[in-house]
Homo-oligomer: A and B are copies of this chain.
């Protein structure tokens, strides 16, 4: 749960990061910036701000904002109604993002899961994305990501997005954010 004030501050902050990244939004889009706390009520450490540009039955594009050190928690995209799970490409536009996916564990991962939630992070193959760099996450592959110290703006190009079907490693997580 987040307060209305937290939501408003996060929307303003996300808009400011997008502006720094040179990304223009319409006034309507600014109103629709989504703030996700994943039900943990620790927005500063576990959270994500996003704007969905388009999401049809076939494809989707979003802009993701992470504040400095903010983490989008570990999850995967399962098949839905017989269709393969969501496939997504993350392209860093501004700042730096540390992406962790299934695969060989980094000897010394540069970033850590949010304190107190370590048990719910299981994949540590590290991919660091700076502006202009990208990585594709195939369906059903577990992943989580965290912004560097300046925050990050990341474009997501994907198949249809149905966040409500995402499977999170942390059983405490609820994808829908409640605003107090």
Residues of A within 8 A of B (CB): 21-26, 29, 53-54, 56, 58-61, 84, 87, 89, 91, 93, 131-134, 136, 155, 157-159
Contact = CB atoms under 8 A, between A and B. Distances in A.
A49 B155 CA distance: 21
A24 B130 CA distance: 9
A68 to B, nearest CB: 20
B134 A53 contact: yes
A29 B133 CA distance: 10
B22 A23 contact: yes
12 contacts: A23-B93, A29-B132, A54-B89, A58-B58, A58-B87, A58-B159, A59-B60, A59-B87, A59-B159, A60-B157, A61-B61, A61-B157
A60 B25 CA distance: 21
A51 to B, nearest CB: 10
A22 B18 CA distance: 11
Given A22-B22, A134-B54, A136-B54, A157 B59 contact: yes
A132 B87 contact: no
A34 B169 CA distance: 41
Given A26-B133, A61-B61, A157 B53 contact: yes
Nearest to A133: B26
